[in-house]
Structures are given as C-alpha cells and as structure tokens.
Chains A and B, each alone.
Chain A
Amino acid sequence: MPAFRQVLPILVVLAAVIALGYPLALVFGLPLARRDLSDLRKWRKELVTSLAPSDLTPLAEGGAITFSPQPGRSVLVLEGHPLEVEPDTDANAVAAAAGRPLLVPGEVPERLTDLLYRFPVEALAGEGADAIYAGTRLLKEGISPAAERPDGKRLDFTFEGAEGPVLVADRLLLEGEGFNFDQGRVILSEAPPFGSEVRRIAADYAVLDAAAGIVALARPAAAPLQWAQEVVRLAERLGGESDGANRLFTLEHTPVLENDRGRALYLDGSPLRGNGERPSERVSGERATFTFESASGLVVLDGRVLIEGIDYHHSGTEVVFVKPPARNARLRLHPDYLLVDPERGEVLLAEPPMPGAVLWVAEYSYYSEPACGPTLYQCFLALPQHPVPFPHWIARRVAPFMSKFPLNDERNVVRATFYTTLGTLAALGLGGIVGILLAVVFVLLRPLERALLPWVVASQTIPIIALVPVLLLVLGNFGITIQTSLLPTALIGAYIVFFPVVVGTVKGLRSIDPLALDLMRSYAATPSQLFLKIRFPAAVPFLFTSLKLGTAAALVGALVAETESNNRRGLGFQILGQVQSGNVADVWILLILSGLLGIGLVALVGLLERIFAPWKRA
C-alpha cells in the first residue's frame, strides 16, 4: 500500500514529536518547580506556640497534666518563668516545683445561650487565646468554610471535616432547625445571601466575633466554661549550652522566617528583644559615631556581627567605630539577640546566659515543607501553569474546552475559528488582488518596477503589526471597527500577503521561454494576446505558490489583529484570553487549532491551484 508507506513515516515522526512533549514538559517545568521548591515564601507556614495542657486534672485527685502532641525538646513554663521539672512528671511534682496553682482562671464568661458565650475581649486576643476550658478539659478551636460559594440561590453546601452547627454570617444554625444533613451535604432551609460567609464549626468552638468576645460552641458545655488567664504551658527550649560562655543557640523547627514579628524569645523570665535598632544618624561614609536607643547589644554591619574592642567601642548609647562604615551600609543594633542563620534557626545572644538559665520560646513561625510537595516531581505536577503541559493533559482538555461556550456565544471555539478563517480569506483575497495588479504594472512598466520594487521589499521590514493600534484608531474615525467589519483584519493580512504575491507573480510573468516568445512573434500576436494567452497562464502556478506562502502570514496577521482589538471574536482573542487566565493547556489547544487551520487553508489554496492550474505535474 503506497499511501500507507507514505503516511507511516509521518506518523512515526508525529508520534516522536508528541513523545518529545514529555521531556520538553519536564525541561521547561522542572526549573519552575525547583524555584517553587527552593523559594521559602512558597512553603507552608507553621506557628509554634507554647501549649496549654489539654487536660488539667485537679491536683487533689493526684492526676497528671496532659499535653498533646508532646514535643521533644521542651520546658514547662508558668507565668513567664520556666519550671525546674521534667515535662513528663506528674501534676503534683509540677505544682510543688511551681509552688502555686497551675491555673489562674480569668473572669467567668457570660452565658448568652446554650451555645453562645461572651468572653472578656482579652481572653481571645494575644497569647493564650486558645486556653478555654470546660471544667478541666481544654477546648479546641476550629471552623471550616463551605466548599461552594453562596450565590443567593444555592441551598446545599459541603464542608470538610466539620460536624458542628452551621454559621451563616454570624447566625448560628442547628441541625434540624435551620439545616438538614443529607449524604454528606448540608441542606439549608433558607438560601444564604450572595457573597455571605457560610462556615461550620469543626472542633469544640469557634470565635464568632473576636472584637465582641463572642464564642460559639459546637455543643452545650458539659462543665462550666473558664478561660485560663495563666496556666502552666509547654514551651520549646532552644538547643545550646547555658554555661556562661556560649552565646549560640538553635531553634528546633527550621527554617525560620527572618523578620518574624511574632517571635517571642525568653531568657528565664525576661523577654528578649531581637529586632534591630537603626542608628539615629545617617551612615554617610565619614561619620564614625552613631547613637542607638539601647546601651548594649550586637552591632551588625551589612549582616556581619562586629566585635567590640576591635571594630568599635561603646560609650553609653553611642557606638564609636574604629573606621567609619561605608556609605549607606546597613547598620543595626540588636539589643538582646540576633537570628544569625534563618535556615538553621541559629540565634546569637548579646550576652552569654548564666549557667542553668533556660532560653525558651513562646511563639515563632517557621516553614514546615514546600507547599507544592516534598519532591521536585510533585512540585512539577502541582505547578499552576505548565509552559509545556504533558500531551495527554492537553488531550484531556480538548472536550471540555470545545464545549465551554454554547454555539450562540461569540466565544465558542467553532465560531471563533470561523471568524478567523473569514478574516484570513479576506486578507488573502485583498492581498492577492493588489499583488497581482502591482505585478502586472511592474511587468508592463519596467521603470516603475525599478523605482518601487526595492520599497516593496522594504515594506515587509516595517512591523505592520505594530501599526495595528494606529490602523484601528484611524479606521475607527471612519466608523469601521473590528466588531462591525473584517476590513481591519483584512488590511493587515493583505499587507503581509501582497509581498510574496508581487514577487512571485512578477517572476511568473517573466518565466516565459524566449523560444515561446519567438513563436508568438512568428504568429504576429498582439501584446494583449501575448499577455492573456502566454504570460498570465504561465504566472498562475507561481501565483499559487506565493499565495500558499502568504496564507500562513495572513493567518498570523488576522490573529494579531484580533489580539489587539478588544472584541470577543476570533482565535486571536481566545489565545490572549486563555493566556491571561493562565490556561496553558487551552492555549496549546488553540495553537494546534490555528496550526490545523493554517494547514487547512494552505490545502484549500492547493485545491484551488488544482482547479485553476490543472496542468501542473503532481
């Protein structure tokens, strides 16, 4: 089968090109994935706080304090002071070491209904906001938003891992009175208004209104509620020897955010200040003496810790440099400590702590893992936009993409293709006619050719596409816009098409065998006969070759004209729209579609050639 033999190599190479899509997708996607993987800002951010015990059995009953989960390197803290007991000892030992009750209750919350309580505002703000107890049991906060967006009509919503009452804005709905539960979905009796917040309590309680102190419970409390103004807590202890000489300590969870405002480090009972102070003078390059707020601390110049006595001297709040720091150098004084290495969580103290002193942290944030996934490949898969998607992803998008808009919408792909085809054909026709006329004039009037042909060549170096906005403006003055007329598209395409047509047709009109001209002379043919019967037919194959070249160009012209005009028609607009909304797979579909369109149009011109120039050998 000769046809099969002809098609087979094409299919083989086509398959190879498609297969090449996979390595290409990796080549282009992996660097982006690597960037996501190494960019800390794209990691999951976690907060470390001191834990309140989840169960605080009354001491009289000889119970234990339970923390969950149990961190490894830890220290017990009460009222801002570390306790000298091991975290896993029983409550009595802790109580004995502390020498006071382990929980200092705050004001009693006001009960509004079975489920709603009003707490003092400070109970819900700042450190310890989570320490709400029902009796001796710590309550957990948790709320989960609805997966669906309320549009004013929708009644059914789904929530992930939530089982409590539903909150519509600040209104509390209970199961049976306000909503029903049906096959994993929550059916509200009344549609929430458009754009309102629909949430469901996922744990024991949720803060409804932090400013008013309103808290909603998932179920009525079994014991009276209280909030712990002060409670023994489990805090993280920094690694490192407190021996009177060591100043370098490490945090457990790394890497750390460098400028974490919430980071609260304590040395025994006193909070440490880690934020750098600016000097009150400008670093001019000449000045050597600078004034800071604090009288002591670590002096850091452009990230380098300076050594007192060698680089500078202290006198009161003034720091006197041996050598003036360079102009605009970054000079900071960290009064108590400096985070020297955010990657490894290394903290440098200004003064070495006394032996036995405990350095602990009440709160700080760190990055637990890349948000995109633990491995490079997972990050690659999780990329929001692949420059080159895997071919089968593109294939999967075809059906949904094609049926995205109904046929009566202008953004429907079939209509867009049709519109672009019309524009391209109009361009081809216009450019073809102009090109042929010009070529005829050139052949008839040689001087004109000498004068104009160089500029026909030069005209193609003018990026006509750059003139699209100007052209649209000028045509717009005459009331011709791309919405109402194909003219702008046709003009732009025609400008590109006419060039190969002129060159090809001139060549064709001149392609006559000199003997053939002699023959016509021997017939005493008139010039018009010569032109109509000989020159013109001879130019037809050349004309079609040029038109085939021009077709692709006309398509580009039409596409670009469509991207530059702000209507919603044509493949060009579609491409731009998908690019802007980041649907790369759809862009690829459109590209392949325009490619097929281009091939189809060239084939159409080829068909016309067969009809109009049947003498050409295959």
Chain B
Amino acid sequence: MKPIWSALAAALMAGLGLVVPYGVDDRSLGVAVAGLPGTLLTALVLLLAATGRAPAVALLIPSGLAGALLALLRLEGGGGPGYWLLFWGFLLASLAATGRISLVEADPDEGPLLQRLRGAIPAGSVPLVLLLVWQGLVVGFEVPKGIFPGVHHVVEVLTQSYPVLLNDSYVTFVKEVLLGFGVGLLGGFLVGVAVACSTLLQRGFLPLAAAFGAVPIVGLAPVLGRAFGVDWESKAAVVVIVTFFPVVLNTVQGLVLVEPLKLELLQAYGAKPWGIFRKLRLPNALPFLFNALKLAVVLSVISVIVAEFLIPGPPEGLGQRISLSARRGAYDVVFAAIFLSSAISISIYGLLSLLERRLTGWHSSFREEGA
C-alpha cells in the first residue's frame, strides 16, 4: 500500500471514530475527543511525509503517538464500534508512519543532529506502539486490573509507590548485582589469568568450565541460601557464580589467543613475561572481557530475580516484590517492578557498551558497520 493511501485510511478511520457511537455510554466522549487530535495529527504528518514533504515534520510522529497514548491512558470502560475504529486507526497510522520514516534514505543536506534523531525514531516508536496496543486492548475489552493491568495502572504504581520500588532496586542492583558482579569479575579474572598460565589447567579446566555453562546455575540458589542466609548475601553469591564462568572463559581466550607473530616480536625485543602480559595479552583480552561482561550483566539480573524467587528472605528487592505481588494478584506492581529492572539493566548495559567503546575502540568489531 502506498503511504498516501495508508495515511488517508488512517485519517478516514479517525474521522469515522468521531461520528460512529463511541461506546455503550457517552461518559468517555470527552476523553475521546481529547484523544482524537492525536490520531488526526499522526494522519496529517503522515500525509505530509507521504507527499515527500518535510521529513523534519515527520519527527513529530512520536509526539503524536505519545499524545494518543496519553489520551488512551485516561480512558476507562469498554469500547463500542467507534472505539475500535479509533483504535485501529491509531494503530495503522502509527505503524505506517514508523515504516515510512524508516524507509526514508538519509539526506546528506540534513544536519548530523537531525539525521541521528531520525535514525532513532523507528526504534523509539516501537515501545510507544506496543504500549498503545496494550492499553487499547485492555481498555477495549475491559480487562480487569487483577487479570492484566492497563498501562495507566502501572504508571500509577510507578508514580505513587516509587520510594518502595526505588529501595527494592537499591537492594537488587546495588547490594546484590553490583557487589556480586564485582566479586565475580575480580575472581573470574584472576582465575582466568591463572588458567592462562598453565597448559594443564587450560586443557582440563576449559572443557569443564564450558560444560558448566550448560548447568542451570539458578538451581544453586536454594543451596546458596543455606550457606549464606536468606538475606541479600546469598543472592549476591548467585551473581558471583553467574559472572564468574563467562569471565574466566573469555579472559583465558583473550589472553591465549594472541597472534604468535606479535608475541615473537615482543620476545625479540626482550620483553619480560610481565611486559608481554601488560603490553600484549591484556589489551588483547579486553574485547573478550567486555563481551563476557555484557553477557554477564543480562544473566546476572535474570538470575538475581530468580534467586529472589527461590530464596524468600526479607521482603526487599525487585524479585521479591514481583514474587509477593504476583502471589496476591497485584500485577500492576509486577509490571512496574519489571519495567524498573529492565530500565536499570539497559542502562548498565549501555554504560558498559560506552566504556567498551572508550577502552577498546580500536578493535575490529567497531569497524564492521562501515562494510
């Protein structure tokens, strides 16, 4: 379908939504009218973009989506035919707009800021679209909060109970993940260096460590709960183990997989083992190490939450919060906690990637994008 047709269809649907009876009663008519400009705006922007005009105007699409979402957030009660027209209009408009934007080739005349912004729009629109679908379905089918909460319920929890959730995040991420991650990283690195120094260990330890990667470490959680108590220490211990093995494996690989010629060159310069380690092996291992860290961060967060599930201790931490809330049917709290945990781990992941770029920007993996 050509963009202009999808734009027209979206506009038509939005218009119909205004005319067709909105719902079983008209209590939410006011809100509907408030939500309509969002659709109309999206449709309009789409129309402009479809005619090849004003790619910069297309930057407004996410804001149109956000406006539509906001309007839906305040909606309550099920929808009649008019509601569904409006909903599908929203959805089509937003999907078409996102697709349209991502198809636009980069224009060399645009400034770098604008270019970067437009590159981010498709990725940025996806969660908005997802939230829109979520909220639209929940409102449309009048799903009760106890079965599946709406976006607005989750937002409400986030704005009202944030002190509790922040404390949970502190316990989970600072006490458990950060500490465990640090210990696991340090221990894994040291063991990795030791293994790299010994051929016997390399031949014997590496296959075992690789096999250990297939062991469901979360199963250890209850055992660690016995050893370290049910408080945060046992969960930090889970993180230590989860971090330890990838770090060992990657450190060894990075230290060992050195180009023989480079090694011989340094030896020809009469470099001492320590010098070779510092000047060649360590820089060579850094990219491997960062790979392990990025993997370990994601694994740690998942494992720590499972560990909190499996070792019920004091009611603190995001995993405990999720577990407790799920048990009493407070799924809005569950989703809020999941949102926080994801947001924080994405930030940690991003931070690590940034650090990786700073420290190992010379590595070939950063040049691939040009090819």
Using CB atoms and an 8 Å cutoff, list the residues of chain A in contact with chain B. Answer: 6, 8-14, 17, 28, 385, 387-388, 447-448, 450-455, 457-458, 460-467, 469-470, 473-474, 477, 514, 551-552, 555-556, 559-560, 563-564, 575-576, 579, 584, 587-588, 590-591, 594-595, 598-599, 601-602
Q: Which residues of B contact A455 (CB under 8 A)?
A: 123, 126-127
A451 touching B223 in the complex, CB below 8 Å, given contacts A463-B302, A474-B148, A552-B213: no
B218 touches A560 (CB 8 A): yes
Known: A13-B205, A463-B301. A595 touches B306 (CB 8 A): no
Assess whether B342 is interfacial by the CB under 8 Å rule. yes
With a 10 A CB-CB cut-off, give which of B227, B319, B346 has the most chain A CB atoms: B227
A519 vs chain B, min Cβ distance (A): 18
- Chain A residues whose C-beta falls within 8 Å of the C-beta of B331 in the assembled complex: 470
Q: How far is the CB of A18 from chain B (nearest CB, A)?
A: 11
Distance from B129 Cβ to chain A, minimum over Cβ atoms (Å) = 9
**CB-based contact A9/B203 at 8 Å:** yes
Q: Nearest 6 pairs between A and B by C-beta?
A: A598-B214, A13-B204, A9-B204, A447-B102, A387-B227, A451-B122
How far does the alpha carbon of A467 sit from the alpha carbon of B125 in the complex, in Å?
A: 24
Q: A463-B338, A466-B322 are in contact. Are A556 and B216 (CB under 8 A)?
A: yes
Contact A590 B204 (CB under 8 A): no
Nearest-neighbor residue (CB-CB) of A446 within chain B: B102
Closest Cβ of chain B: how far from A452's Cβ, in Å? 6
22 contacts between A and B (CB under 8 A): A6-B203, A8-B204, A10-B204, A12-B200, A13-B208, A387-B223, A447-B103, A450-B123, A451-B122, A453-B123, A455-B126, A458-B346, A460-B302, A461-B298, A465-B309, A466-B323, A477-B147, A514-B371, A576-B222, A587-B219, A594-B215, A595-B216
Is B2 at the interface (CB under 8 A from chain A)?
no
The residue from B127, B223, B323 contacting A588, defined by CB atoms under 8 A apart: B223
B358 at the interface (CB under 8 A from A): no
Q: Which residue of B lies closest to A5 (CB)?
A: B203
Q: Which of B39-95 contact A (CB under 8 A)?
A: none
Interface set, chain B 269-327, CB cutoff 8 A to A: 298, 301-302, 305-306, 309-310, 319, 322-323, 326-327
Give B139 Cβ to nearest chain A Cβ, in Å: 17
With a CB–CB cut-off of 8 A, which chain A residues contact B215? 552, 591, 594-595, 598-599
CA distance A39 to B67 in the complex (A): 63
Structural contact, A467 and B338, CB atoms closer than 8 A: yes
Evaluate contact between A465 and B302: CB separation under 8 angstroms: yes
Query: For the complex, what is the distance from the CA of A598 to the CA of B305, rounded to whole Å?
Result: 21
Besides the known contacts A9-B203, A455-B127, A473-B147, 20 further A-B residue pairs in the complex with CB atoms under 8 A apart:
A9-B201, A28-B227, A387-B224, A447-B99, A460-B298, A460-B302, A466-B323, A466-B341, A469-B327, A470-B326, A552-B215, A556-B218, A564-B309, A576-B310, A579-B222, A594-B216, A594-B219, A595-B211, A598-B216, A602-B214
Residues on B facing A (Cβ under 8 Å): 98-99, 102-103, 119, 122-123, 125-127, 147-148, 200-201, 203-205, 207-208, 211-220, 222-224, 226-227, 298, 301-302, 305-306, 309-310, 319, 322-323, 326-327, 331, 334, 337-338, 341-342, 345-346, 349, 371
Task: Decide if A584 touches B226 in the complex (CB within 8 Å).
Answer: yes
Contacts of A469 in B (CB 8 A): 323, 326-327, 334
From A450, A463, A599, give the contact of B305 (CB < 8 A): A463
Pair A584/B223 contact, Cβ less than 8 Å? yes
Min CB distance, B341 to chain A, in Å? Answer: 6
Which single member of A451, A514, A579, A601 contacts B214 (CB below 8 Å)? A601
The answer to whether A461 and B326 touch (CB under 8 A), given A388-B223, A595-B216, is: no
Interchain CA distance A587-B225 in the complex, whole Å: 13
Residues of B within 8 A of A388 (CB): 223, 227
- Distance to closest chain B CB from A478 (angstroms): 12
**Closest chain A residue to B101, Cβ basis:** A447
On chain A, the residues within 8 Å of B309 by CB distance are 465-466, 560, 563-564
CA distance A432 to B301 in the complex (A): 23
Distance between Cα atoms of A463 and B326 in the complex (Å):
14
B192–chain A nearest beta-carbon distance, Å: 15
A145 CA to B99 CA, complexed, in Å: 80
Query: Is there an interface contact between A587 and B341, defined as CB atoms closer than 8 Å?
Result: no
Q: Is the CB of A450 within 8 A of B214?
A: no
Residues in chain A near residue B148, CB distance under 8 A: 470, 474
B310 — which chain A residues lie within 8 A by C-beta? 563, 576, 579
Chain A residues with CB below 8 A from B208, complex form: 10, 13-14, 17
Are the CB atoms of B219 and A590 closer together than 8 Å? yes
Tell me, in angstroms, the Cα distance from A435 to B342 when the chains sit together. Answer: 21
Tell me the smallest distance from the CB of A544 to a CB of chain B, in Å.
15
Asked whether, in the complex, the Cβ of A587 is within 8 Å of the Cβ of B123, the reply is no
- Asked, given contacts A28-B227, A458-B342, A463-B305, whether A450 binds B222 with beta carbons under 8 Å apart, the answer is no
**Identity of the chain A residue whose Cβ is nearest the Cβ of B305 in the assembled complex:** A463
Q: Establish whether residues B338 and A462, one from each chain, have CB atoms under 8 Å apart when the complex forms.
A: yes
Nearest Cβ in chain A — how far from B290, in angstroms?
Answer: 15
**B125 contacts which of A451, A551, A590, A602 (Cβ < 8 Å)?**
A451
Q: How far is the CA of A551 from the CA of B210 in the complex (A)?
A: 13
| Structural contact, B214 and A466, CB atoms closer than 8 A | no
Question: B303 — nearest CB in chain A belongs to which residue?
Answer: A556
User: A120 to chain B: closest CB distance in Å?
Assistant: 52
Q: Report chain B residues within 8 Å CB of A462.
A: 338, 341-342
Set of chain B residues within 8 Å of A28, measured between Cβ atoms: 227
Cα of A447 to Cα of B205 in the assembled complex, Å: 44
In the complex, which residues of chain B have a beta carbon less than 8 angstroms from the beta carbon of A551? 214
**Which A residues are in CB contact (< 8 Å) with B119?**
450
Residues of chain A with a CB closer than 8 A to B345's CB: 461
Nearest A residue (CB) for B201: A13
Which residues from chain A contact B102 at a C-beta distance below 8 Å?
447-448, 450-451
Contact of B207 with A10 in the complex, beta carbons under 8 Å:
yes
Question: What distance in Å separates the Cβ of A571 from its nearest Cβ neighbour in chain B?
Answer: 8
Contact status A450-B302, CB under 8 Å: no
Q: Do residues B226 and A385 form an inter-chain contact, with CB atoms below 8 A?
A: yes
Output the residue of A9, A385, A387, A599 with the most chain B CB within 10 A.
A9
Expressed in whole angstroms, the Cα–Cα distance for A17 and B204 within the complex equals: 11
Scoring B125, B204, B212, B334 by chain A CB atoms within 10 A of each residue's CB, the highest score goes to B204
Cβ-defined contact, A591 with B219, below 8 A: yes
CA separation between A19 and B114, bound complex, in Å?
62
| Contact (A461, B334) CB under 8 Å given A10-B204, A559-B218, A575-B222 | no
Contact across chains for A10 and B216 when beta carbons are under 8 A apart: no
Known contacts A12-B200, A552-B216, A584-B223; decide if A599 and B338 are in contact (CB<8 Å).
Answer: no
Nearest-Cβ distance from residue B197 to partner chain A, whole angstroms: 14
Query: How many angstroms between the C-alpha atoms of A282 and B172 in the bound complex?
Result: 41
- How near does chain A come to B234, taking the closest CB pair, in angstroms? 10
The complex places the Cα of A388 from the Cα of B239 at a distance, in Å, of: 18
Contact A599 B211 (CB under 8 A): yes
Q: Are A447 and B122 in contact (CB under 8 A)?
A: yes
Chain B residues near A473 (CB-CB < 8 A) = 147
Chain A residues whose C-beta falls within 8 Å of the C-beta of B98 in the assembled complex = 451
**B119, B213, B337: which has the most chain A beta carbons within 10 Å?**
B213
Contacts of B224 in A (CB 8 A): 387
Which listed residue (B127, B203, B218, B222) contacts A587, Cβ 8 A?
B222
Bound-complex Cα distance A467 to B302 (A): 11
Q: What's the least CB distance linking A570 to chain B, in Å?
A: 12
Chain A residues near B322: list those with CB within 8 A.
463, 466
Minimum Cβ distance to chain A for residue B344 (Å): 8
Interface centre among A452, A460, A464 (most CB of B within 10 A): A460
Q: Would you give the shortest CB distance from B140 to chain A, in whole angstroms?
A: 17
Given contacts A462-B338, A462-B342, contact A591 B301 (CB under 8 A): no
Residue of A nearest to B100 (CB): A447
In whole Å, how far is A28's beta carbon from the nearest beta carbon of chain B? 4
- Closest Cβ neighbor of B148 among chain A residues: A474
